[in-house]
A and B are shown apart, each in its own frame.
Chain A
Amino acid sequence: MSVLVVVRPGPLTTVQDLGRRGVAHLGVPRAGALDEPALRAANRLVGNEPGAAALETTLGGVALRAVGPAVVAVTGAPAPVRVDGRAAAWGAPVVVPDGAVVDVGTATDGVRCYLAVAGGIAVPPVLGSRSADLLSGLGPAPLGAGDRLPVGAPPPYRARPDLVPLPAPPTELVLRLRLGPRADWFTPDAVDRLRRDTYRVSSTGNRVGLRTEGPAVARARDGELPSEGMVVGAVQIPPDGQPVVFLADHPTTGGYPVIGVVPAADLPAAAQARPGTPVRFVPLRER
């Protein structure tokens, strides 16, 4: 069985699969890849099941030495890929010979790259998933230099794509918004302004939430909401009025009112939007 040894962990690299299900009532966040289509694509390129565990990098890439041969594929944010210093393909299967170093450089655009390896990252699962959950600390810790990542047995050969189409990281992030469950905590004018005004992706966001900056969203009422269950894509409005879009590591319950929920289809782009990217919220009409 091959091993990947971490040569350069990058600013934040974590193991991610599709996350944990059925444990939110115990206070366990879902976790899992923020850009799920990119994870699935990387796995398809190396012949894995689409939800196999892979690496999610953050802006600065990662470098790994293969002990035993490995086949990898990098998707998500476009980034230079090198094997022992030689340029290799992004978005396609790449052979890494025994002893060679595969280096994913700084993303040229977008935020998060996904590096899948044939056989998957075979760290032990916790509660049904290998994902690192940075809110509660479940699953493997973020990568550190010298870490040894076990690689699973290579999957049986199956027809696999040479290329998969992936959307480019967004230059403007358009987030549709299904209003509720607490839209009534805000003035009708606040919803209108959310539709008209432009926000920007803040640099303080993380895997818990995409933070946005712009005109404060005004509440129609004071007081506190008793904590209630939260979903991925929920747009919470904290007291400072700056919308936060909940991502995979979000807490299972929260006490700030949720003005609306971003559909799952719009969240991969949110995971790739760099700080400063303009954000437009598009409230959907009620059916």
Chain B
Amino acid sequence: MTARTVRRVGERALLVEVPGTADVTALYGWLREQQEAGALGEVEELVPAARTVLLDGVADVDAVARLLRTARPTAADTAHGELLEVPTVYDGADLAGVAALWGVSEEAAVRIHTEPEYVVAFCGFAPGFGYLTGLPARYEVPRLATPRSTVPAGSVALAGPYTGIYPHPSPGGWRLIGRTALLLWDTDREPPALLAPGVRIRFTARRAGGRP
């Protein structure tokens, strides 16, 4: 495991900084295991983000900080999440634009997007909105210059290194490549979010006109 910086955040929280998003996923998976094993004592929240994991509501901040400075999570901690298949109709308004940015046909763009296994690196922006990593770095795309005022729920979209799926209708500046009929967020379900951090994802292409 790579270098880590542990920063105090107020009286009851710690921010752990790592070099990259893959390290975040490994660290978060390891922390969840430690939490379930009772090794962290009381911790209210574990919040992964792009380069950090926040531990909030920590009863014994000093003890957990010591543990974090010495512990050695391994890469094996990354692959623990369940695998979720996301059936997707690739007919998004920006699919042609994304294919052009990649210099390939739309069919090839769909193959490129369905090829990797993704993982939910972290959530944010709205409840249940996951930032999925897995697309090779050469396929990063910029956000739209002008965000759309409404993006329908279920839209599969790209921005920067991430793939996202809008759980609710909302404004958005990501490039829309497709849509899924999966209900991503349901407060009556446990867990309410399909795309929780650590969940692994495969996108599968469904025929346009059929049900996604």
Q: How far is the CB of A18 from chain B (nearest CB, A)?
A: 12
Q: How far is the CB of B68 from chain A (nearest CB, A)?
A: 14
Set of chain A residues within 8 Å of B52, measured between Cβ atoms: 226, 228-229
Q: How far is the CB of A76 from chain B (nearest CB, A)?
A: 24
Q: How far is the CB of A267 from chain B (nearest CB, A)?
A: 11
Set of chain A residues within 8 Å of B8, measured between Cβ atoms: 178, 180-181
Inter-chain contact B50/A229, CB cutoff 8 Å: no
Q: Give bound CA distance, A23 to B193, whole Å.
A: 10
Inter-chain contact B50/A231, CB cutoff 8 Å: no
Q: Give bound CA distance, A252 to B13, whole Å.
A: 13
Partner of A25, one of B12, B50, B129, B197: B197
Given contacts A27-B123, A181-B15, contact A233 B49 (CB under 8 A): no
Interface of chain A: mostly helix, strand, loop or mixed = loop
Partner of A226, one of B10, B50, B187: B50
Binary contact track A23-49/B, C-beta < 8 Å → 1, others 0: 111111000000000000000000000
Given contacts A26-B127, A27-B124, contact A178 B47 (CB under 8 A): no
Binary contact track B178-196/A, C-beta < 8 Å → 1, others 0: 0000000001000111001
Inter-chain contact B126/A261, CB cutoff 8 Å: no
Set of chain A residues within 8 Å of B44, measured between Cβ atoms: 21-22
Q: Give bound CA distance, A226 to B191, whole Å.
A: 27
Set of chain A residues within 8 Å of B154, measured between Cβ atoms: none
Q: How far is the CB of B41 from chain A (nearest CB, A)?
A: 15
Q: Give bound CA distance, A138 to B188, whole Å.
A: 12
Set of chain B residues within 8 Å of A229, measured between Cβ atoms: 15, 45, 47-49, 52-54, 56
Interface residue B46 (Cβ < 8 Å from any Cβ of A): yes
Inter-chain contact A26/B128, CB cutoff 8 Å: yes
Inter-chain contact A231/B122, CB cutoff 8 Å: no
**B196 and chain A: residue at smallest CB distance:** A26
Q: Give bound CA distance, A141 to B166, whole Å.
A: 22
Set of chain A residues within 8 Å of B46, measured between Cβ atoms: 25
Supplied contacts A21-B45, A26-B191, 10 more A-B pairs, CB within 8 Å: A24-B45, A25-B47, A27-B128, A27-B129, A28-B127, A180-B7, A229-B48, A230-B54, A234-B9, A261-B10
A/B interface sample: 11 pairs, CB < 8 A: A25-B45, A26-B128, A26-B196, A226-B49, A229-B47, A229-B53, A229-B56, A233-B10, A252-B124, A261-B13, A264-B11
Which B residues are within 8 Å of any A CB, using their own CB? 7-13, 15, 44-54, 56-57, 122-129, 187, 191-193, 196-197
Which A residues are within 8 Å of any B CB, using their own CB? 21-28, 126-127, 136, 138, 178, 180-181, 226-231, 233-234, 251-253, 258, 261-264
